[in-house]
Homo-oligomer: A and B are copies of this chain.
Amino acid sequence: MSANDLKQEVTDKYSLRGRVFNRLREDILSGKYEENEELREVAIGEELGVSRTPVREAFRQLELEGLIRIIPNKGAYVTGISEKDVKDIYMIRSRLEGLAARWATEHITLEQLEEMEENVYLAKFHSEKGHLEQLAELDNRFHEVMYEASGSKMLEHQLRDFHQYVLRVRKKTLASANRGPQSNLEHEQIMMAIKEKNADLAEQLAHQHMINAYENMVKNGLHEAYSESEKRIGE
C-alpha cells in the first residue's frame, strides 16, 4: 500500500454506510437539502431503508467533509457557504493550481501533453461554434489532466476537494459563457508553458487563470447569475 493517498476517498461504495454517505453528499451538493436544514437520523434511515448506525457513521464523515455540522446532543445541520468562503476557496485553489502546473511541467507524460494539446484545439473549435456544453466538459478535463500530470495524489486530492465545494455554489455563482474564449486562451498559454518546460511561467499562468475565473464570476454577480446548465464555464 502506498502511503500516497494520505487523505482517503470513501472507497466503500457498497456498504450501507458508504451508500448513505454518497447519497447524502449528492443530495447536499445538489441542493436537495436547504442550508441549515436539520438532518434526523431516523428520517434519513427510513428513507434509505437502513438503521441509524450506518446513518450516524455517514454523518461523522460528512461532518469532517464539511458538508454538515453536528452539534452534540442536538442535531446535524447542512452547512452553508458564504461569499467569503467562495473567495477563500478560489484564492487557495489559485495557489494550488499554480503548484499543479509547476509539477505537471516536471512530470507530464507525452500522452498527457498530447491530451492537453488536443483539449485546447477542440475547445477552440467548440468555442467558435458556441457549443457551451462541450466547452464546459473540456474545461473540466483540462484541469483534471493537469492534476494527474502533477504526479501528486496529495495535491490532486486537495484540488478535487475544493472543487467539490465550488460545485455547491454553482447555482449561485455561475460564470458567464463569454469567458469561454478567454479561458481557453489561458489554457493554451498554460499548456505551452508546460510544453516548453517553463515551470515558473506555468505556475504563474495557472495561478492567474484561477484568479481571473473568480473575478469574472464576481463581475457577473455572485447572487443572480443562474443557469440551467450543469456545467460551469471558464475556470
Interface magnitude class on chain A: 35 or more
Task: Tell me the smallest distance from the CB of A98 to a CB of chain B, in Å.
Answer: 7
The residue that A6 contacts in the complex, of B3, B14, B85, B158, with Cβ under 8 A, is: B85
Known contacts A57-B56, A61-B64; is-contact A155 B92 (Cβ 8 Å): yes
The 8 A CB mask of A60-94 against B (1 = contact, 0 = none) is 11011110011010000101111011001101100
Task: Tell me the smallest distance from the CB of A211 to a CB of chain B, in Å.
Answer: 12
Copies of chain A in the complex: 2
Q: Does A33 have its Cβ within 8 Å of any Cβ on chain B?
A: no
The 8 A CB mask of A12-34 against B (1 = contact, 0 = none) is 10110110000000000000000
Determine the chain B residues whose CB is within 8 A of the CB of A233 once the complex forms.
2
Q: Does A36 have its Cβ within 8 Å of any Cβ on chain B?
A: yes
A67 to B69, CA, bound (A): 21
A residues neighboring B (CB under 8 Å): 1-8, 10-12, 14-15, 17-18, 35-36, 53, 56-57, 60-61, 63-66, 69-70, 72, 77, 79-82, 84-85, 88-89, 91-92, 95-96, 98-99, 152, 154-155, 158, 165, 230, 233-234
